[in-house]
Amino acid sequence: MEIIMSVLVMGLIAIVLAVALIISSKKFHVPENPLIEKVASLLPQANCGACGFPGCAGFAKAFVEDPVPGMRCPVASAEVLKAIGEVLGTSIGESKPMRAVLHCNGKHSNVQTVSEYIGVRSCAAANMLYTGDKACMYSCIGYGDCAKVCLFGAITMEDGIAVFDAEKCTGCGLCVKECPRKVISLVQKRISNVRVTCSSHDKGPVVRKNCKVGCIACGKCVKVCPKEAITVAPGSNLARIDDAKCILCGKCVAECDVMHAIAADGRVVKAVEIIIKKKQQEKEEKQKAAAMAAGAANNPAASDTKEVKS
C-alpha cells in the first residue's frame, strides 16, 4: 500500500510540475523573429564556424538582429546572398569568392629529409616539438591537420604536402587558421591564379641547399612584372604577389626558370608556354648570330673573298 501511495504522490508531483512548465513557457514565451529561420534556411548549413558564430543558426540570428559591417558567410554564394537580401528587404554587397592556396612545394621529392618523426601524426604537435622531418623549417609539415578540418573534402595529402581542389574549396578559411606554419592563405577565386610556392625566409644559398624549388629572392620576377604586383620586402628573402594587382600575364612564372618557385593554373599555363617558347627562339637566334660572328672572325679570308666578289 505504501508503495502504491508513493507512486501516486510522485506521479501527482510530476503532473503538477509539467503543467507549471507548460504555463510558464506560454506566459514567458519570447517570440523569435521569423526572419531568422528564413535566413538560416538559405545558408549552406555547413556549420563550419568560419563566420565566427556557432553554426549557421547563430550566424542567422546575429545577421538579422545585430548586423555588423563586413559580417558574411564565407561559404555562401552570390545567389545565396542575393536571396538573403530579398528576405531582409535590403541589398547585400556581393562578396568575392575565395579559395585556399599553399605557399609551399616542399614535396619529399623536392626537399631534403633530415630526420624521421615518430609520434602523433599532427602538424600542430610536430611543430611544437621540432622543425619537422624536412630540412626547410618553413615548409608544409604534411601531416594533414588542414585536411582534417576541411568540411568539403577539398584537401588531400600527396607526397608530403597539402593539395587543394579549387572546385571544392569554398574559401571558409578553416585550413588557414589550422596551419601552424601559416603556409596557407586565401586568394580570390578566379579562372586562373599565380602564386609563390614558397614561404622560406632563409637566404638564397640555404634555400638552394634545402630545396630544389624554393624562392631565393633573386628579384627577376619583380623586374618583369608590368604592374609592380611582386615585391621582395627588405630582409624577408621572399617574393610575394599582390593578387589585386596581378593581371595573370604569366611573365613571372616564365622568368622563374631556375628554381620554379612561382606556380600558375588555368589559362596562365598556356600564356607561360608561349612566353617560354618565344624566349627559347630568341635564345637560339642569338646563338646562331654569335656563331656566325665567331665564324667570320676566325676566317677573315672568306670575308675578304666575299668583298672582292662583290
pLDDT class of 123 with cuts at 50, 70, 90: very high
Q: Which three cell numbers stand for residue 113?
A: 629529409
Distance CA 249, CA 228 (A): 12
pLDDT for res 308? 46
Do 100 and 175 touch, CB atoms closer than 8 A?
yes
Average confidence (pLDDT) over 26-37: 77
Question: What amino acid occupies position 32?
Answer: E
pLDDT class of 30 with cuts at 50, 70, 90: low
Q: Which three cell numbers stand for residue 169?
A: 574549396
Do 158 and 140 touch, CB atoms closer than 8 A?
no
Distance CA 310, CA 131 (A): 73
- The whole-chain average pLDDT of the chain stands at 87
Question: What amino acid occupies position 69?
Answer: P
Distance CA 195, CA 249 (A): 12
pLDDT class of 146 with cuts at 50, 70, 90: very high
SS3 24: helix
- Between 156 and 98, where is the model more confident? 156
pLDDT class of 268 with cuts at 50, 70, 90: confident
Q: Report whether pLDDT(67) > 90.
A: no
CA distances for 259 relative to 80, 216, 237, 287, angstroms? 43, 8, 14, 24
Residues with Cβ within 8 Å of residue 280, at least 6 apart in sequence: none
Question: What amino acid occupies position 116?
Answer: E
Distance CA 308, CA 123 (A): 78
Report the DSSP pairing between strands 194-196 and 230-232: unpaired
Domains of the chain: 34-95 (1.10.15.40), 98-189 (3.30.70.20), 190-284 (3.30.70.20)
Least confident of 11-25, 71-85, 198-212, 231-245: 71-85
Q: Which three cell numbers stand for residue 126?
A: 610536430
Q: CA angle, 74 as apex, 70 and 77 as ends, to 5°?
A: 105
Q: What is the DSSP secondary structure assignment for residue 197, as one 8-state letter? A: -
Number of neighbours of residue 287 by Cβ within 10 angstroms: 10
Least confident of 30-39, 98-107, 146-155, 184-193: 30-39
Q: Which three cell numbers stand for residue 124?
A: 600542430
pLDDT for res 34? 84
Q: Which three cell numbers stand for residue 192?
A: 586562373
Residues 188-223 have pLDDT tens digits of 888 788 999 999 999 999 999 999 999 999 999 999
pLDDT class of 309 with cuts at 50, 70, 90: very low
